[in-house]
Amino acid sequence: MAETDTSAAAARPDESRRDPDATRAALQDWLAARLPDHADPDVAAVQVPESNGMSSETVLIDAVWGAEGERADHRLVARITPTDDTIPVFPDYDLASQFQVMRVVGELSDVPVPAVRWLEEDAGPLGAPFFVMDRVEGVVPPDVLPYDFGDNWLHDASREDQQRLEDTSIDVLVRLHAIADPERHFDFLAGDAPGDTSLRRHVAAQREYYDWVSRDGLRSPLIERTFDWLDEHWPDDEGPTVLSWGDARIGNVMYRDFEPVAVLDWEMAGLAPRELDLSWTIFLHRFFEDIAAQMGLPGMPWFLHRERVCERYEELSGHTPTNMDWHLVYAALRHAVVMSQVQRRAIAFGAAEQPDDVDDLIMHRATLEEMLEGRYWERVLS
């Protein structure tokens, strides 16, 4: 998952521990072993972006090699599993699953995912497993500072271009959710959490993640109260199971001319109802909007508006989103668990202090409390 708050930079080590020159040499040796004889690869440059995320490390690669008598340039990206000393956001980082999801999505749909090339599960070459995919050129809505704060390409665009980005992003979800027979094609995402439906298993897995985050003994009364709320208000009809991107937000999409050209970050992919992705898209924008409001900024309240997102999704897919109040609380809960780990990470790196109240690890604490009281959407949509 890419960073989703204005303190994200503080949750990283001060400097990358990966040396570009050593990485370039290691990748050149690795490519030589991977490619056919006489390919003679040359890794010309390796770049470690300053904006590397917290759940993996990204390395940009410029390489040249020969094939069928001609040498060609190749612009690649390596996603590298985080090591334990970086205090990962998630307990497991299943690169093989991410690689497989992207490969199958690319085969079964026209969702724009980068072409994946190689999966390396041996930690030897780079010190951790990694996979390599083609690099796509485009721009990503910024998280730090968030796009709705102003002074960036999305915020400063015309309302027409902003609407095109919103509509085409929703269309990505429609096309992703239209992949037939997801429980067969993506059976490796089923996991082993208990439950007799995909949604039950998804929530059970989220409880397991929360238990891992709170293994230091600091358990959140607000998060646990929200789990209880979800149980008490469980949907009567969960709806059909689809492939869920899991981290469905515009900050994980690369755009060109305000249309998606690459859908990125699949570490939270799973099997779940359609509304899980819709609610995450809506909530993550509201998360930024609430921060903007606290800072006295106008934000982008018209953008990714709850009602319009659902209407557009129904228009494109024929499916009427249901149980959205429930799913939006679940989205806020999922983000609360992630934020709890992000803030623990910042504390471990000396960039934040442990609060007296563990619930203050949740940046959107007030939002989640209002949601449980049934007041949040009435206030922000009025």
Q: What is the pLDDT of residues 337-375, one digit of tens each?
A: 999 999 999 999 999 999 999 999 999 999 999 999 999
pLDDT of 334 > 50? The answer is yes
- Encode 134-173: b = buried (16+ Cβ within 10 Å), e = exposed: ebbeeebbbbbbbbbbeeeebbeeeeebbbbbbbebbbbb
Quick one: pLDDT band at residue 51, thresholds 50, 70, 90? low
Buried b (16+ CB within 10 A) or exposed e, 1-21: bbbbbbebbbbbeeeeebeee
pLDDT of residue 339: 96
Q: What contacts 296, CB < 8 A, 6 or more positions away?
A: none
Q: Per residue in 215-237, is it b (16+ CB within 10 Å) or e — as a string? A: eeeeebebbeebbebbeeeeeee
d(CA 348, CA 354): 9
Q: Which residues participate in catalysis according to the annotation?
A: 247
User: What number is the average pLDDT over the span 281-310?
Assistant: 97
Rg for the chain, CA atoms, rounded: 21
Q: What is the pLDDT of residue 69?
A: 81
pLDDT of residue 14: 43
pLDDT by residue (tens digit) across 192-237?
A: 999 999 999 999 999 999 999 999 999 999 999 999 999 999 999 9
Has residue 153 got a pLDDT over 50? Answer: yes
Q: What is residue 325's predicted lDDT score, i.e. its pLDDT?
A: 97
- State the virtual CA torsion across 220, 222, 223, 228 in degrees, nearest 10: 130
Contact 42, 65 (CB under 8 A): yes
* Cis peptide leading into residue 145 (ω within 30°): yes
Structure token pair of residue 76:
């690649």
Of 166, 326, 333, which Cα lies nearest the Cα of 255? 166
Cβ(141)–Cβ(251) under 8 Å? Answer: yes
Global pTM value: 0.94
The pLDDT assigned to 3 comes to 42
Residue 85 pLDDT: 79
pLDDT of 307 above 60: yes
Residue 9 predicted with pLDDT over 50: no
Residues 253, 277 contacting (CB under 8 angstroms): no
- Give the number of other CB atoms < 10 A from CB of residue 47: 13
Please give the backbone phi and psi of residue 117, each rounded to the nearest 5 degrees, phi first: -110, -55
The pLDDT of residue 6 is 42
pLDDT for the residue numbered 53: 53
Beta bridge mates, 63: 43, 74
- Residue 382, pLDDT > 80, answer no
Confidence of residue 19 (pLDDT cuts 50, 70, 90): confident
Pick from 64, 23, 29: nearest CA to 47: 23
Residue count (the chain): 382
| 177-187 pLDDT tens trace | 999 999 999 99
Among the residue ranges 62-76, 175-189, 209-223, 297-311, the one predicted with the least confidence is 62-76
What is the rounded average pLDDT for all residues in the chain? 93
Mean pLDDT along residues 17-42? 92
**Dihedrals phi, psi of 31, to nearest 5 degrees:** -65, -40
The first and second tokens of residue 362, run together, are 């949740």
Helical axes 221-232 vs 365-373, angle rounded to 10°:
30
- Across 80-107, average pLDDT: 92
Higher pLDDT, 286 or 86: 286
Query: What residue ranges define each of the domains in the chain, with the CATH number in brackets?
Result: 8-134 (3.30.200.20), 147-380 (3.90.1200.10)
Q: What angle do CA 100, 106, 107 make, to 5 degrees?
A: 90
Residue among 349, 362, 320, 316 nearest 168 (CA): 316
